[in-house]
Structure 1
Amino acid sequence: MIKQLLRSFHPLEQLERKRINEIKKGVLPNSCSILFEYPIPSPDTLIEDIEFIVLDFETTGLDSYNDEILSVGSVNIKNQILSLSSAQHFYMLAANAIKPETAVINHILPEVLIGGCTEKECMEKLVLSLAGKVVVAHCAEIEQRFLRRALALSHDTPLPIVFLDTLKLEKSLSDYWGQAKPDLRLSEIRQKKGLPPYLAHNAFADAVATGELFLVLIKEIFSEKRVTIGELLSRSQSS
């Protein structure tokens, strides 16, 4: 009884109840109604039974209300295999939103966005890819905030997606205990682990780089143990 009670407070169980409650209301957001069709995995679901999608947004800044998404990159992981054939990379029609200070970093210039898709078109494609999957991102809060804004979700509407954060997974390692401000940039972590350098601040390259890091972290944290999504989420939220 106590075990069942504690389980009911698990973040995954709480998100599943929110998903069901939203369905019962009978008015799902048009922008992402398909996301509500897929149940949230239970905490004891093995990760080998879950399909992941690694997501990266390049934006004009970190303010999801005043900044814009410039490009989106994603790639799928299943059975701890990163599938490059599943990769997607979209540019947005947002040339007017480009800021000099971020263009220097991500090298996205107005001419790069010619022929891109509108944010609505991109989100329609992306939502289809996200449905039924667990999202992995580096500093996942950024992707989560911008995704909510792009889908025009109200404050009290749940986003029925589980997010895992490679930054927090890395920070949970004992190497960082006692460090006030460790360098947790994606490129720095990859270098530390002997992973090859990729083009930084490119949505497609960063999605692949994050996916590779995610697979390395699973092995580093859990060794050969069979891992549940509940255990993985706990480590991803522990920092």
Structure 2
Amino acid sequence: MKEWITGRNPVFEVLRAKRRHAFRLFALRGIRMEGHLPEIVEMAKARKLPIHEVQRFELDKIERNNQGIAIEVSEYPYRPLDDLIKHSQSTGEAPFFLLLDTIQDPQNLGTLLRTAEIMGVHGVIIPSAKSALITPSVVASSSGASEHLLVSQFNLAQAIDRLKGLDIWVYGLDEDERSRTPAQLNLKGGIAIVVGNEGTGLRSLVRKKCDEIMRIPQYGKIDSLNAAVAGSIAIYLARQARG
């Protein structure tokens, strides 16, 4: 299947990552060549893509928030779980994974993917059902970071079993009677962080399989963080602990 990616950063990262087959590029007629646009055009020419100068209404039919640029590409290239594990082992670092337990809001998924890529997460695992998928809107909300990550669709309970078999400690992000703060946990070794659904948190089986439940301490008057913010804080703290 084909899909359109719009926006300067997402289109730039799609071309830079070279993980999708690209078919054609649409650019707004008369657009100023600034920011990433010259590099986008050069990469498109290097890949011998047809480049079409089009009117605003043609881009708006694809996506209204298009920033004057759009690229038609193949659908997102999910990877087998084994590829994520092999990549992690090739880095020379302690394993670092992110598991997303039925995250459903595309903005939250994009934010978590963006944080994961910036913080050097080795791979992201999402369920194959009841979860937001990596659509063009998620690519946009991740600012194209999704294009540089290895993402696998896999049963989370089974994925946790696989990771634990590799001596990776699994931390579920939630709050209950056994939860501890990041400062009370050892985040320096091989770890996987599991972020739960925006409304219901971690599913019971996923929670049971976690080695520890981690909570983000809060000091203000609001009593909760949304999934993307809490997950991003946890990823950052884990990266800091790893040095």
What band does the TM-score fall into relative to the shorter chain? under 0.3
Using structure 1 for the length normalisation, give the TM-score.
Answer: 0.28
Larger radius of gyration: 2
Using structure 2 for the length normalisation, give the TM-score.
Answer: 0.28
- Greater helix content: 1
